[in-house]
Chain A
Amino acid sequence: MRRVINALREWMQLRVRLRDERQFHRDRATADLRALGLSARAAKRRAHGRLGSRQHRILALRELGGDWAGLIRLFLAHRVHASPSFQPMALIAGSLLILLLSPAPRLILESVAGQPLAAEDRGAVFISNQARNLTYVGITKADFESIQSLHGLTKLERYQSIHARAQANKDVTVAAIEAMVRMRTGNPRLRAIPLFERHAIVMGPAKAVWRLLAFCSLFFVAKFRSKRRWLGYGLAVGSLHALASLMTWALAIQLWSGIAWSTDGRALLGFLFLSAVYLGVVALQCHVWWRDLRRRCPRCLESLLLPLTEGSTDCFLLNSATTESVCAHGHGVLVETPWASRFRPEQSPLQGLVHG
């Protein structure tokens, strides 16, 4: 956070300095032009023109590094990306962005939590017309009105504008509700299912992937249990990755199908494609998470720097090459083989000492 603030402060100072200097210049030029006999308005316009247009100011800012690209360069110079709080903050920001982009943010939270947020929604029933391809296409106005006074159902309302949802009484099963709805409307295609069953189906594959990863991480916990701070940090970042990933999946499903669940061939192909992309993204997340974690000092969580290669790449058996990195404070050391050090992120060895 300190690094972000420093970079932002430097960037703001640059912009403020340029603005103040231009303002001073404009005011002085206006005063001089007025002394030559120009009206206040004409003098101001002429002084403004001499300093250049807005486009000119943008170009000047770009040249000085006061634009957005300059801010990114400053973030890199202050090693914001190497800060222990960078990944957690980025993941939290990403999750919030997903909620903002989602057409139904509450549904995303419920899907991730595995149950409705409000206790009264837990017995909610979803009622809709199921098409031949098993897609839920909604309930007609006439059917909706005819089930208004159905025994065993309360709080009947429209759901996602085309379907219906209601609260089932405790003494009535969902199957009984479905039978009553069909009998009352005379429509054999109407289905009534627990509202949350649909969420569970949609979220099932994504959750299975992360359950598997959580199971694998038990070995990780056992292996690194002596490095408690580092381990805690790693698991916290991993959990945030899982949260962001599940939310991304829920959003992707929302955008892809409007949460209409279908098993026809085209929809299945689309779902498989989406699943493959999801698996790729999860693999990438694991790579980023592990690569960053591996190069953090177990004590101060700062990234390890100053790579020093020893040995020879030609003499593999007697004097094999290894690269040793150390944290800026000197307590964390990492020794890597040439193969592992191939994936080391690009960085200047002195950066951490200058800004760290």
Chain B
Amino acid sequence: MSGSLLQGTLDLLVLRVLVAGPQHGYAISRRLMELSEEWLNVDEGSLYPCLYRMEKKGWIRSESGRSENNRKARFYSLTDAGVGQLEVEREGWQRLQRAVGRILKRA
């Protein structure tokens, strides 16, 4: 089975990872890999457009800071709108999961 991400799922995953607190792009990417036990193929080149897109929509905010090795990095954190959007995305995903499950059971 392919480990590639379903279209639009990256937003949900990034929002969920950011619940833990502000993180930079690389940390988000690493966390996604760890949580999926290296199974999910998060396209790292797509991560930043996704982060910018969500920032434009007001779901996340970004600010400059220093990373663990004292390098300048941009840290992303969830906004209130982002918390609400996470719930919407989560519900959408669960509905999709149930629908796919029903199809697989009955077909």
Contact B52–A50 (Cβ < 8 Å): no
Specify which chain A residues have a CB less than 8 angstroms from the CB of B3 in the assembled complex: none
Specify which chain A residues have a CB less than 8 angstroms from the CB of B48 in the assembled complex: 18, 21-22, 25, 60, 64
Flag whether A24 is at the interface (Cβ < 8 A): yes
- Over the window 56-92 of chain B, the binary record of Cβ atoms lying under 8 Å from chain A Cβ atoms (1 yes, 0 no) is 0000000000010101111000000000000000000
Contact B45–A63 (Cβ < 8 Å): no
Contact A25–B49 (Cβ < 8 Å): no
Known: A21-B48, A57-B45. A63 touches B53 (CB 8 A): yes
Contact A52–B52 (Cβ < 8 Å): no
Count chain A residues whose beta carbon lies closer than 8 angstroms to a beta carbon of B.
Answer: 20
Main secondary structure of the interface of B (DSSP, over half): helix
Flag whether A259 is at the interface (Cβ < 8 A): no
Give the CA-CA distance A52 to B47 in the complex, in Å: 11
Q: Which of A17, A28, A57, A64 contacts B26 (CB 8 A)?
A: A28
In residues 11-52 of chain A, which contact B (Cβ within 8 Å)?
A: 17-18, 20-22, 24-25, 27-29, 31-32, 50-52
Give the CA-CA distance A25 to B67 in the complex, in Å: 11
CB closest chain-B residue, reference A32? B30
Give the CA-CA distance A297 to B30 in the complex, in Å: 56
Known: A21-B25, A24-B24, A24-B73. A60 touches B67 (CB 8 A): no
Known: A51-B45, A60-B45. A25 touches B52 (CB 8 A): no
Give the CA-CA distance A25 to B76 in the complex, in Å: 14
- Over the window 57-91 of chain A, the binary record of Cβ atoms lying under 8 Å from chain B Cβ atoms (1 yes, 0 no) is 10010011000000000000000000000000000
Flag whether A56 is at the interface (Cβ < 8 A): yes
Give the CA-CA distance A51 to B44 in the complex, in Å: 5
Give the CA-CA distance A60 to B72 in the complex, in Å: 22
Flag whether B43 is at the interface (Cβ < 8 A): yes
Give the CA-CA distance A24 to B24 in the complex, in Å: 10
A residues neighboring B (CB under 8 Å) = 17-18, 20-22, 24-25, 27-29, 31-32, 50-52, 56-57, 60, 63-64
